């Protein structure tokens, strides 16, 4: 049978052996696991599957084994006796009903929130059950800056599009509960993302650059109103850009340096870029803002590629015009394609992150499109949404845990946790 069409992880039991599941639980301390496997070895046991976890000092070890039926009583007696002396509880299921294979999860659901409550997980579990999806495993993936849980599930119809109704149900739970929920297909293909492209204003950074520039001309409120309409998709982006840039006419070009100095990165931005680069991602940004501001930021973060509009400057003064092609929604999408092509990366291996209507095309062509504190127009087409102000959540959506991030930061001396405001 083709392995890709197999829904179980199959194992081969040696002839003459019978299957059983052994479960050991209790307060963890050194030597428990070693003692379990010593006893199993003494009784000639075949190991078919093992899973062990330590949750806040509590050990849970489960083994699917093959044992000789004539040793069953002795095996049970030694396991329960020896491990009881170590403060552990042991159960052994020797029935013929033992499941011979482990379900392979078809999808991964990531839940992020501050906080995540039992009621949230109850609602998610109910939605999964109503759509015939079974929860296989749950693990924590983040405790900072939000709580993150990863839920492995098996859906009834794993074919492309087969989980559309479930996705809608989970989106409804996210909307009503305030937690972020993303569902993706499980498997190797979702581990092969290799390029990520960020929008800049209100995504990679907290501000809108054109509004910072307009403040120097005393026209910030006017420009901000036009920006908001463009990001909601109410205005053509190119037309709105030209209209807003006119407000900058006559400004001394030195204000650009002042704006660059005033930029505030979105919380988690440095950690996110640093972690992705460690993992071998190509990282970049494409912006409807301005290259004169993006370029120094890109150098600081070590981005591999970037693209933005160019403010026209004549005799050290902004003319109120941009030169060259305007970076609108279609150019953003084409830029992502170009970045991927030039790096030999397929589009299904790309991730795009943005917040506005001008990011719709870019997120739509990416293998994974993430809407970051986004306008409704973008949330409707995104694969996943983030509604908390921390860019680290993008890492969690990609299956990268806080523990993995922190361990890497500790190793190279970049570890820090900024106290969060209540």
The answer to whether residues 179 and 112 touch, using CB atoms and an 8 Å cutoff, is: yes
Q: Would you mind telling me the total number of residues written for the chain in this entry?
A: 422
Cis peptide before 15 (omega within 30 of 0): no
The answer to whether residues 200 and 308 touch, using CB atoms and an 8 Å cutoff, is: yes
Pairing verdict, β 107-113 and 147-154: antiparallel
Residues 6+ apart with CB under 8 A from 390: 145, 146, 266, 267, 268
3-state secondary structure of 187: coil
Sign of CA dihedral 54, 76, 98, 36: positive
* Element containing residue 182 per DSSP (H, E): strand 180-185
Known catalytic residue at 359? no
In the set 28, 180, 199, 383, the catalytic residue is: 199
In the set 28, 201, 359, 392, the catalytic residue is: 201
Provide the 8-state DSSP code for 71.
G
* Element containing residue 394 per DSSP (H, E): helix 392-397
Known catalytic residue at 392? no
Residues 6+ apart with CB under 8 A from 108: 150, 151, 152, 153, 183, 184, 185, 186, 190, 399
The answer to whether residues 107 and 170 touch, using CB atoms and an 8 Å cutoff, is: no
CA-to-CA dists, residue 31 to 25, 53, 55, 329, angstroms: 14, 15, 17, 59
Catalytic residue list: 199, 201
């Amino acid at each position: 049978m083709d392995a890709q069409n197999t829904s179980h992880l199959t194992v081969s039991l040696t002839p003459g052996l019978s299957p059983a599941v052994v479960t050991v639980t209790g307060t963890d301390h050194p030597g428990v696991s070693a003692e379990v496997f010593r006893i199993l070895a003494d009784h000639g046991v075949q190991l078919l599957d093992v899973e062990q976890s330590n949750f806040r000092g509590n050990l849970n070890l489960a083994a699917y084994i093959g044992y000789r039926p004539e040793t069953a009583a002795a095996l049970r007696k030694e396991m329960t006796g020896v491990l009881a002396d170590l403060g552990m509880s042991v159960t052994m299921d020797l029935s013929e009903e033992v499941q011979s294979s482990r379900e392979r999860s078809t999808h991964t659901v990531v839940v992020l929130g501050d906080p995540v409550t039992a009621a949230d997980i109850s609602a998610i579990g109910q939605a999964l059950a109503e759509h015939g999806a079974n929860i296989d495993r749950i693990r924590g993936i983040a405790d900072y800056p939000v709580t993150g849980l990863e839920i492995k599930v098996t859906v009834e119809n794993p074919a492309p599009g087969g989980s559309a109704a479930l996705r809608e149900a989970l989106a409804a739970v996210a909307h009503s509960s305030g937690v972020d929920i993303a569902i993706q297909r499980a498997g190797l293909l979702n581990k092969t993302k290799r390029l990520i492209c960020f929008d800049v204003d209100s995504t990679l950074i907290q501000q809108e650059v054109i509004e910072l520039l307009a403040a120097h001309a005393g026209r910030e409120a006017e420009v901000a109103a036009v920006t908001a309409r463009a990001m909601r998709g109410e205005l053509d982006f190119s037309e709105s850009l030209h209209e807003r840039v006119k407000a900058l006419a006559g400004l001394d070009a030195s204000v650009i340096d002042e704006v660059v100095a005033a930029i505030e990165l979105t919380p988690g931005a440095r950690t996110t870029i640093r972690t992705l680069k460690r993992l071998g991602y190509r990282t970049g940004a494409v912006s409807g803002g301005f290259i004169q501001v993006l370029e120094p930021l890109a150098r600081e973060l070590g981005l591999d590629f970037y693209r933005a509009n160019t403010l026209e400057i004549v005799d050290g003064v902004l003319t109120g015009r941009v030169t060259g092609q305007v970076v609108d929604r279609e150019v953003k999408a084409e830029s992502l394609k170009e970045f991927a092509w030039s790096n030999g990366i397929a589009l299904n291996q790309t991730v795009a992150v943005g917040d506005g209507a001008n990011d719709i095309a870019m997120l739509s062509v990416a293998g994974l499109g993430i809407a970051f504190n986004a306008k409704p127009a973008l949330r409707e087409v995104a694969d996943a949404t983030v509604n908390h102000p921390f860019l680290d959540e993008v890492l969690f959506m990609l299956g990268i845990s806080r523990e993995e991030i922190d361990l890497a930061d500790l190793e190279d001396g970049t570890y820090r946790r900024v106290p969060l405001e209540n």
